[in-house]
């Protein structure tokens, strides 16, 4: 019976996605939903940016093992990222009327910087989307009692998400995010209410977690522990800002004001709501300590689904797995769309500048299918946990794309030469330390990469410039370009009387 409910839910989701595809008429509709989304939908899409596999499986599993200190990156860093990104994108980039972050790098610097940073952004999505696909495989394996292997479940899950995302683009993502947000929140709240009835309320669970040190947030007074702690926080908080899915969801809003408020509300709801699955997972360890302690040692990501399948009535099981699928599918669809659109717009299009809009829409969809196959191969061959996949995804953008984005928007003396030094220096230093020293490094390699990147931007920009790059863009670059694009989109009316 549970399996049939799951199948019906998946069919409805695909149907909604295909219905949304009827609104896609050009690349702007496909990439940013025509910049027409109202506040409730933007809030839902921002919430769904992060509320995926790691929020339902990864974060609770990490919390049960390491406490709040272990989840500093997510939800603490990720929630702050969404708020910072909302302000940044809405105030600096929304008015440029662009569809990808790569467009900004090209406008502010040049084609080379655009391609390098775009590749950084696209590569960062491999681990992130793979984590969602891996979680779908886990869900299908659990609900079928092992009849569908995790590997087969990954293939099935990738095919379902790819179907409605390929046809509907950002419109499919937005509509499904709104529906799936309601389902996931309702389902998980019902499970939490049911579990709290078995533990004697919420307070006993919180008290037990406090007594065992699970609510200790800050590390001991050891400078190296603090560096590691802050490294995890900063990686997610800043490394996630130069991300196409965050940019896409925020700039799909119908106005800059809606973009800002949507990001704040979405981030706030996400931060508060991630504690619900954490509560459920920790409560499970109190209900049957021996059983779930053994399960944590085997695979802590199975704690929640095992609890629901073995201890909850059918209605709770349907709501839980409906909520899980909602969260994962809404997250994976957008994170599959974002790098595909970015690669098509900022790498492929540069080689075919005269391509028509209809042809380019086909190219975007082709890139989507190609990236989905890469992600599936990565997920099938990776041994990392869901939380580790997500946490590691943003090291590359922190080291290679963050500094050129922020300095380009706020520092008038930033130049193309500085951006190239920042990007290449940050990436090379991070990769070398990661490969040669790895976890033995007292300072997280990605933080060293960030520092080298910032230094490279300053030094590379202030040194004597190469011929043709003597004059950086003026301080008013963003405003002037915004005005220029506005005039292109809305040419002044001809007055025959003048």
pLDDT reported for residue 106: 92
Residue 177 burial by Cβ neighbours in a 10 Å radius (0-12, 13-18, 19+): buried
Both tokens of residue 197? 């009835």
pLDDT tens track for 298-351: 777 777 788 888 888 888 788 778 777 777 777 777 778 888 888 988 899 888
The CA-based diameter of the chain, rounded to the nearest angstrom, is 87
pLDDT tens track for 138-179: 888 888 878 888 899 899 888 888 887 777 666 666 777 777
Average pLDDT, whole number, for the chain? 82
Does the pLDDT value for residue 491 go beyond 60? no
Contact predicate 378/126, CB 8 Å: yes
- CA pair distance 307, 66, nearest whole angstrom: 20
Query: Among 292, 332, 312, 336, which residue's Cα sits nearest to residue 60?
Result: 292
pLDDT reported for residue 110: 92
Query: For the chain, what percent of residues have pLDDT higher than 70?
Result: 87
Residue 347 burial by Cβ neighbours in a 10 Å radius (0-12, 13-18, 19+): middle
pLDDT reported for residue 33: 61
- CA pair distance 206, 222, nearest whole angstrom: 27
Distance, C-alpha 58 to centroid of its chain: 14
Question: Is the pTM above the cut of 0.85?
Answer: no
Does the pLDDT value for residue 296 go beyond 80? no
Contact predicate 84/241, CB 8 Å: yes
Phi/psi region, residue 492 (left: phi>0; alpha: psi -120 to 50; beta: rest), is: beta
pLDDT reported for residue 232: 85
Most confident of 55-64, 107-116, 168-177, 330-339: 107-116
- CA pair distance 312, 194, nearest whole angstrom: 8
Q: Phi and psi at residue 211, in whole multiples of 5°?
A: -65, -30
- CA pair distance 376, 469, nearest whole angstrom: 42
Contact predicate 177/327, CB 8 Å: no
Contact predicate 446/231, CB 8 Å: yes
Residue 15 burial by Cβ neighbours in a 10 Å radius (0-12, 13-18, 19+): exposed
289: part of which helix (H) or strand (E)? helix 289-299
Q: DSSP code of 81?
A: H
- CA pair distance 473, 332, nearest whole angstrom: 37
> How many residues does the structure list for the chain?
498
pLDDT reported for residue 29: 65
- CA pair distance 24, 41, nearest whole angstrom: 17
Both tokens of residue 189? 């709240």
- Name which residue leads in pLDDT, 497 or 327: 327
pLDDT reported for residue 95: 83
- CA pair distance 384, 54, nearest whole angstrom: 12
- CA pair distance 123, 397, nearest whole angstrom: 9
30: part of which helix (H) or strand (E)? helix 27-32
pLDDT reported for residue 403: 95
Q: Phi and psi at residue 66, in whole multiples of 5°?
A: -115, -5
What Cα–Cα distance (Å) separates residue 243 from each residue in 3, 49, 280, 335? 35, 11, 30, 9
Half-sphere exposure (CA, 13 Å, Cβ side) for 452? 21
pLDDT reported for residue 495: 38
Both tokens of residue 395? 């090291």
Query: For the chain, what percent of residues have pLDDT higher than 90?
Result: 21
- CA pair distance 476, 470, nearest whole angstrom: 17
**Taking the CA atoms of the chain, what radius of gyration do you get in angstroms?**
23
* C-alpha angle 241-245-249 in degrees, rounded to nearest 5: 100
pLDDT reported for residue 123: 87
* C-alpha angle 122-53-226 in degrees, rounded to nearest 5: 80
Does the pLDDT value for residue 64 go beyond 50? yes
Distance, C-alpha 473 to centroid of its chain: 31
Most confident of 125-134, 221-230, 417-426: 417-426
Q: What are the start-end ranges of the H helices in 55-149?
A: 59-66, 78-88, 101-108, 111-143
- CA pair distance 304, 437, nearest whole angstrom: 36
């Amino acid at each position: 019976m549970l399996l049939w409910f799951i199948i019906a839910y998946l069919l409805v989701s695909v149907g909604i996605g295909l219905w949304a595809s009827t609104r896609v008429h050009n690349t702007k509709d496909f990439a940013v939903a025509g910049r027409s989304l109202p506040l409730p939908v933007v809030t839902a899409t921002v919430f769904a940016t992060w509320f995926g596999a790691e929020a339902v499986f990864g974060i609770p599993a990490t919390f049960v093992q390491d406490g709040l200190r272990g989840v500093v990156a997510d939800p603490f860093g990720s929630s702050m990222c969404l708020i910072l990104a909302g302000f940044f994108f809405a105030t600096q980039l929304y008015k440029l009327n662009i569809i990808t972050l790569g467009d900004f790098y090209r406008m502010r610097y040049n084609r080379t910087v655009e391609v390098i940073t775009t590749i950084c952004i696209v590569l960062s999505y491999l681990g992130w989307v793979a984590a969602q696909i891996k979680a779908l495989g886990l869900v299908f394996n659990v609900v079928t009692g092992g009849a569908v292997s995790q590997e087969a479940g990954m293939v099935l899950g990738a095919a379902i998400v790819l179907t409605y995302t390929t046809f509907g683009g950002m419109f499919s993502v937005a509509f499904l995010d709104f529906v799936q947000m309601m389902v996931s929140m309702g389902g998980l709240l019902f499970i939490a209410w049911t579990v709290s009835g078995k533990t004697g309320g919420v307070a006993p669970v919180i008290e037990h977690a406090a007594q065992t040190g699970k609510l200790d947030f800050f590390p001991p007074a050891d400078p190296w522990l603090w560096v590691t702690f802050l490294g995890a926080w900063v990686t997610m908080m800043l490394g996630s800002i130069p991300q196409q899915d965050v940019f896409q969801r925020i700039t799909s809003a119908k106005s800059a004001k809606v973009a800002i408020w949507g990001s704040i509300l979405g981030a706030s709801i996400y931060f508060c709501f991630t504690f619900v699955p954490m509560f459920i997972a920790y409560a499970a360890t109190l209900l049957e300590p021996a059983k779930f302690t053994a399960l944590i040692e085997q695979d802590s990501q199975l704690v929640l689904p095992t609890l629901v399948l073995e201890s909850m009535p059918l209605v709770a099981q349907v709501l839980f797995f409906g909520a899980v699928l909602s969260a994962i599918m809404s997250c994976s669809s957008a994170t599959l769309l974002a790098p595909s659109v970015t690669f098509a717009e900022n790498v492929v299009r540069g080689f075919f500048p005269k391509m028509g809009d209809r042809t380019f829409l086909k190219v975007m969809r082709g890139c989507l299918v190609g990236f989905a196959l890469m992600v599936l191969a990565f997920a099938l061959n990776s041994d990392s946990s869901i939380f580790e996949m997500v946490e590691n995804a943003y090291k590359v953008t922190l080291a290679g794309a963050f500094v050129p984005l922020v300095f380009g928007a706020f520092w008038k003396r930033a130049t193309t030469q500085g951006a190239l030094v920042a990007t290449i220096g940050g990436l090379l230093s991070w990769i070398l330390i990661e490969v040669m020293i790895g976890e033995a490094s007292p300072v997280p390699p990605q933080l060293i990469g960030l520092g080298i990147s910032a230094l490279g931007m300053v030094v590379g920009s202030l040194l004597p410039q190469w011929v043709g790059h003597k004059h950086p863009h003026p301080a008013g670059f963003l405003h002037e370009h915004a005005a220029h694009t506005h005039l292109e989109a809305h040419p002044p009316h001809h007055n025959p009387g003048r």
